[in-house]
Structures are given as structure tokens and as C-alpha cells.
């Protein structure tokens, strides 16, 4: 695992198959690159297996539309932190 809860695609796939995560991680836009890194964000979705999370590429801007589409539970500070760390 990398710092700041940033994971590779391989790490996410391994985590998602574990009992702890129980297939509760959805990877948003997985076709960006096999070598991309992702950060996990909680969503407002849950079922008997637990809270659902979405992994968003660390180089993808989080917009209000994306927040609505993925039902993300994020505050403005998280959005600003994520978007300010994108390589320009």
C-alpha cells in the first residue's frame, strides 16, 4: 500500500477479493492505465456486504457531476485536496 490510501490496480483487486472488502470496491474508469494509482472514497451505497467504495484515479478531477453519479460521500476539503494534487 502506498501512502495517503493510494493503491495500484493490483492492490485494489487483491483487496476486493478479501473477506474484509467482500467485493465492495468499484474501480471508476479502470481502462485509464494498468499502472495508474487510485484513491478510495466511500459512497452512500451499502448492502448486506457493507458500505460500497469507489476507487478514483489520482489524476482524475472530481467534479460535482462525478460526485452525484457515483454517490460519493466527500466534503469540499477532500475534493480540493484531491484536485490540487493532480499533476498539471
pLDDT per position as a tens digit, 50-86: 999 999 999 999 999 999 999 999 888 888 888 888 8
Mean pLDDT estimate for the chain:
89
**Contact yes or no for 38/44 (Cβ under 8 A):** no
Phi, psi at residue 12, to the nearest 5°? -65, -40
Average pLDDT over every residue of 9-18: 94
- How far apart CA 27 and CA 24 sit, in angstroms, is 10
Its domain, for residue 16, covers 3-84
**DSSP class of 72:** B
- How far apart CA 9 and CA 46 sit, in angstroms, is 22
Higher-confidence residue: 34 or 43? 43
Integer-rounded Cα Rg, in Å, for the chain is 13
Number of domains in the chain: 1
Structure confidence at residue 88 (pLDDT): 57
Structure confidence at residue 33 (pLDDT): 74
Amino acid at each position: 500500500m502506498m501512502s495517503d490510501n493510494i493503491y495500484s490496480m493490483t492492490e485494489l483487486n487483491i483487496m476486493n477479493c478479501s473477506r474484509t472488502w467482500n467485493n465492495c470496491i468499484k474501480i471508476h474508469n479502470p481502462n485509464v492505465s494498468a499502472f495508474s494509482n487510485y484513491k478510495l472514497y466511500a459512497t452512500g451505497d451499502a448492502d448486506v456486504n457493507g458500505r460500497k467504495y469507489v476507487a478514483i484515479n489520482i489524476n482524475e478531477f472530481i467534479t460535482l457531476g462525478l460526485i452525484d453519479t457515483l454517490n460519493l460521500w466527500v466534503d469540499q476539503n477532500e475534493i480540493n485536496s484531491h484536485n490540487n494534487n493532480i499533476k498539471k
